[in-house]
Amino acid sequence: MKPKQKSRQEPAYRNPKLSVERRVKDLLSRMTLREKVAQMLCIWQQKSNTMVDEKGRFDLQKAKSHFKDRAGLGQVGRPSDAGGGRNAREMAELTNEIQKFFIENTRLGIPVVFHEECLHGHAAIDGTSFPQPIGLGATFDPELVRRLFEMTAAEARARGTHQALTPVVDVAREPRWGRVEETYGEDPYLVSRMGIAAVQGFQGDATFQDKKHVIATLKHFAAHGQPESGTNCAPVNVSERILREVFLYPFKEALHKGGTISVMASYNEIDGVPSHANKWLLRDVLRKEWGFKGYVVSDYFAVRELNERPDLFGNHLAEDRAQAAALAVHAGVNIELPDPDCYPYLVELVRKGLVKERLIDELVTPMLAWKFRLGLFEDPYVDPAVAERIVGCEAHRELALQAARETITLLKNDGGLAPLDPRRIQTIAVIGPNADRRMLGGYSGVPKHCTTLLQGIQDRVGASIKVLYHEGCKITIGGSWQQDEVTPSDPTEDRKSIAEAVKVAEQADVVVLAIGDNEQTSREAWALNHLGDRASLDLVGRQDELIDAVAATGKPIVAVLFNGRPISIRNLAAKASAIFECWYLGQETGRAMAETLFGDINPGGKLPITIPRSVGHIPAYYNHKPAARRGYLFDDVTPLYAFGFGLSYTQFQFGKPRLKKSTIGKTESTEIRIDVTNTGARAGDEVVQMYIRDKVSSVTRPVKELKGFERVTLAPGETKTVSLEIAPEHLAFYNIDMEHVVEPGEFEIMIGNSSRDQDLQKVVLRVK
């Protein structure tokens, strides 16, 4: 007789037919304290010590040795950078092997989440790279942003990624700060619309069934974009009203309208409390007030900074790493990134009674829930062939090109010098330190394709025009984003080079002058030997001398700026006939800019941030209070170029604005309509911008605030009617009692094509 077979029932958490809540509850009930804490840990730089060999290949014996307690791990950071970098197929194979190990060699088989940087494309080998967020802000095109991050999600997910540490929805009100390039600009409404679009692109419907989407991470929560002295991670000194109306607003909007799943806390402190220890911020506001159900990740090494981070700084709220961990978990930080540092002490803290195990359960629960919702327990692997096929593909390249085209912003065009007419030009001199330099900005990968301005011009004109080139001068020696040490260029060598560049310019009919920043002079300052904030907004090095020398030749100058933050370019503005602001355009820099120079493309970008006349003019953001910007002795108080400003090769005429209803109740909505006509001879894009001002209010209000916009494309002679909604949310603010309300009275509704008063028409809306 055969022995009686014992029925072995699978645990509930393994049953995909059960609800996620039921599965999480069952799994959590089976986990030891050590296994729970393991879910709150991540490995990034320690990959080489724990799971991969020196070439970035998975090392089974190394992994078995390090994870011999079989407790598991919460996340693995940036598998793309293992061994110096993995291409699409190699990364997909690596994530599969790592995932297989944790599923098969841990007691409960809990899969890991892989996170990656995806600021402007997946920051990995072969990832498609498009303009930096500050450039995307210039597009004023949320739908484009949604499509770009949908593409990025597909590329990253195909390689095994589950979470993107993006988008940045910081409001950049401090142009000295090196991280301006990572933001969508200075306006909370613009930042919020771009943030919502990015989240929607990354997450789709957040079911993740198609394996083409990833979890988005809003960062940096909160107020990271106005650091004291303009230096990264410095305290932010703002009132609660400003905090809520300016800095928290994009997070709240992206959470409620985008459905973001994860948030990253910021390095800075607010009112003496660093964000990673801020219960009011992470619990009272984010979770209780806003209803956030996702999870908070730490910024890299920020939990340690609650104590002391050697060779950088410490906040000294904690006497050691164990106390730093206690502060962070009590504030509500679910997982410590990027490597096990402070959170391993949580096991000991719970056993000593300093942290309750139910708090650990609370923080682990949403992370487990999203592992189930991502389908990782049933379908944890990816197909390397799919990754190889779609990453950096031609369709994605075309979308990156479209983004570059829409980013380019024309600031000046005296005499209609641009677009250049090839029939009237025999020789072009392309001069400047950024003319033949590949510049992607921070958090970039290594795309399959990447063109410089010089290459783009050469490809565009072929043999029909002679193209001369000279560097002119250097900005810094080397200049790579990853290069820690910043070495200024040699003045003597620069001046010799400038003299040679002048000889080149003298041979040309027109000079294309490529200047600005490089990736060292504006970047995240993450260490004392890796700085990127500046005390000046002037051009670095001898670039102004280069401008003067080229201008002295009398040749017409088309200036092309590449930079990560606003530069005070008064000298350039006086001497160049045409100026293009490009920010960083991504892998298609050369092609997009060459198309624009020769009129194949009509620029339609608008400034997402004010360009001040000098560093002494900051703060320079447009949405200031009435008592600000009254005037300076010996200088003009206005900006050099205003928020929302940008020219075109064609002309647009705005009709009279009209309100659908000129009087509404406090809970009612209306809309403003305006006819826009292309009166020129070229097709072009215009951005219709709506600003609002409460004329009399219980607390002072900004002179104007962007509350709506739409980018429209018009053929020559074509007219379109643009309608923009005015809802209570566009009129409300925090009143004298800190209540978010609409106060009755008159509101100025301003509509036009920039934030400048002369570019706006006004109508009055009455709210009763």
Whether 363 and 419 share a structural domain: no
DSSP H helical ranges for 7-141: 20-30, 33-38, 47-50, 60-66, 88-104, 133-139
Q: Model confidence at 297, in pLDDT bands (50, 70, 90)?
A: very high
Cα–Cα separations (whole angstroms), residue 333 to 265, 310, 325: 8, 22, 9
Q: How far apart are CA 258 and CA 237, in angstroms?
A: 28
For the chain, the straight-line distance linking the first and the last C-alpha, in angstroms and rounded, comes to 89
Mean pLDDT, residues 306-321? 92
Considering the domain boundaries, does residue 606 fall inside one?
yes
Last residue of a domain, one of 357, 390, 423: 390
Q: How far apart are CA 766 and CA 349, in angstroms?
A: 59
Q: How far apart are CA 191 and CA 177, in angstroms?
A: 17
Whether 153 and 103 share a structural domain: yes
- pLDDT tens, position by position, 218-227: 999 999 999 9
Residue tagged 């090769």 (tokens):
649
Q: How far apart are CA 593 and CA 559, in angstroms?
A: 12
The CATH number given to whatever domain includes residue 744 is 2.60.40.10
Nearest residue to 381 (alpha-carbon basis) of 684, 98, 752: 98
Q: How far apart are CA 749 and CA 183, in angstroms?
A: 27
Q: How far apart are CA 94 and CA 73, in angstroms?
A: 16
pTM: 0.97
DSSP class of 585:
-
Q: Residue by residue, what is the 3-state secondary structure of 211-228?
A: CCCCECEEEEECCCCCCH
Whether 372 and 418 share a structural domain: no
Per the CB < 8 A criterion, the answer to whether 433 and 518 are in contact is: yes
Task: Give the pLDDT confidence score for residue 482 in this predicted structure.
Answer: 87
Last residue of a domain, one of 327, 355, 390: 390
Three-class SS state of 653: strand
Nearby residues of 609 by Cβ (< 8 Å), 6 or more positions away: 134, 137, 172, 175, 180, 185, 186, 565, 566, 621, 643
Considering the domain boundaries, does residue 457 fall inside one?
yes
Residue 555, domain extent: 408-617
Q: How many CA atoms lie within 13 A of 207 on its CB side?
A: 3
Phi/psi of residue 627, nearest 5 degrees: -80, -10
Number of folded domains that form the chain: 3
Considering the domain boundaries, does residue 34 fall inside one?
no
Residues linked to residue 469 through DSSP beta bridges, in sequence order: 430
Nearest residue to 168 (alpha-carbon basis) of 754, 710, 564, 484: 564
Q: Poorest-confidence range of 299-313, 342-356, 538-552?
A: 299-313
Q: Model confidence at 479, in pLDDT bands (50, 70, 90)?
A: confident
Neighbours of 55 (CB within 10 A): 11
Q: How far apart are CA 184 and CA 193, in angstroms?
A: 10
Three-class SS state of 258: helix
Task: Give the pLDDT confidence score for residue 311 in this predicted structure.
Answer: 78
Phi/psi of residue 244, nearest 5 degrees: -70, -45
Percent of the chain predicted with pLDDT > 90:
97
Mean pLDDT, residues 581-595? 98
Task: Give the pLDDT confidence score for residue 374 in this predicted structure.
Answer: 98
pLDDT at residue 368 is higher than 50: yes
Per the CB < 8 A criterion, the answer to whether 560 and 539 are in contact is: no
Q: How far apart are CA 644 and CA 751, in angstroms?
A: 12
Considering the domain boundaries, does residue 635 fall inside one?
no
Task: Give the pLDDT confidence score for residue 9 in this predicted structure.
Answer: 84
Residue 384 tokens, joined: 């390397």
Considering the domain boundaries, does residue 495 fall inside one?
yes
- Residue by residue, DSSP assigns 539-574 as PSTTHHHHHHHHHTTT--EEEEEE-SS----HHHHH
pLDDT at residue 356 is higher than 90: yes
Mean pLDDT, residues 492-521? 98
The CATH number given to whatever domain includes residue 124 is 3.20.20.300
Task: Give the pLDDT confidence score for residue 3 in this predicted structure.
Answer: 38
Q: Model confidence at 1, in pLDDT bands (50, 70, 90)?
A: very low
Q: How far apart are CA 30 and CA 24, in angstroms?
A: 10
Per the CB < 8 A criterion, the answer to whether 334 and 40 are in contact is: yes
Cα–Cα separations (whole angstroms), residue 408 to 140, 264, 340, 433, 725: 12, 30, 42, 19, 28
Whether 458 and 379 share a structural domain: no
pLDDT at residue 84 is higher than 60: yes
- pLDDT tens, position by position, 103-123: 999 999 999 999 999 999 999
- Residue by residue, DSSP assigns 715-764 as -TT-EEEEEEEE-HHHH-EE-TTS-EEPPSEEEEEEEESSSSGGGEEEEE
Q: Model confidence at 481, in pLDDT bands (50, 70, 90)?
A: confident
Q: Model confidence at 695, in pLDDT bands (50, 70, 90)?
A: very high
Considering the domain boundaries, does residue 351 fall inside one?
yes
Nearest residue to 761 (alpha-carbon basis) of 722, 733, 730: 722
The CATH number given to whatever domain includes residue 607 is 3.40.50.1700
Helices 188-203 and 249-258 cross at an angle (nearest 10°) of: 30
Percent of the chain predicted with pLDDT > 70:
99
Whether 81 and 154 share a structural domain: yes
Nearby residues of 579 by Cβ (< 8 Å), 6 or more positions away: 410, 411, 412, 558, 559, 561, 569, 572, 573
Q: How far apart are CA 768 and CA 679, in angstroms?
A: 39
Whether 357 and 415 share a structural domain: no
Per the CB < 8 A criterion, the answer to whether 604 and 651 are in contact is: no
Three-class SS state of 283: helix
Active-site residue flag, 299: yes
Q: Model confidence at 8, in pLDDT bands (50, 70, 90)?
A: low
Neighbours of 107 (CB within 10 A): 13
Residue tagged 């020398």 (tokens):
549
Q: Of 299, 494, 544, 694, which is the active-site residue?
A: 299
pLDDT at residue 97 is higher than 60: yes
- pLDDT tens, position by position, 151-190: 999 999 999 999 999 999 999 999 999 999 999 999 999 9
Whether 54 and 93 share a structural domain: yes
- pLDDT tens, position by position, 419-469: 999 999 999 999 999 999 999 999 999 999 999 999 999 999 999 999 999
Mean pLDDT rounded to a whole number for the chain:
97
Whether 438 and 386 share a structural domain: no
Considering the domain boundaries, does residue 395 fall inside one?
no
Cα Rg of the chain, angstroms: 27
* Helix or strand (DSSP H, E) at 14: none
Residue 709 tokens, joined: 């916009």
Omega cis (within 30) before 167: yes
Whether 183 and 239 share a structural domain: yes
Residue 570 tokens, joined: 């008064």
- pLDDT tens, position by position, 527-565: 889 999 999 999 999 999 999 999 999 999 999 999 999
Per the CB < 8 A criterion, the answer to whether 664 and 695 are in contact is: no
Residue tagged 């000298």 (tokens):
571
Nearest residue to 561 (alpha-carbon basis) of 513, 611, 498: 513
Whether 337 and 450 share a structural domain: no
Whether 178 and 306 share a structural domain: yes
Whether 67 and 216 share a structural domain: yes
Neighbours of 211 (CB within 10 A): 16
pLDDT at residue 249 is higher than 60: yes
Considering the domain boundaries, does residue 486 fall inside one?
yes
Last residue of a domain, one of 563, 590, 617: 617
Mean pLDDT, residues 708-722? 98
Task: Give me the amino acid identity at 168.
Answer: V
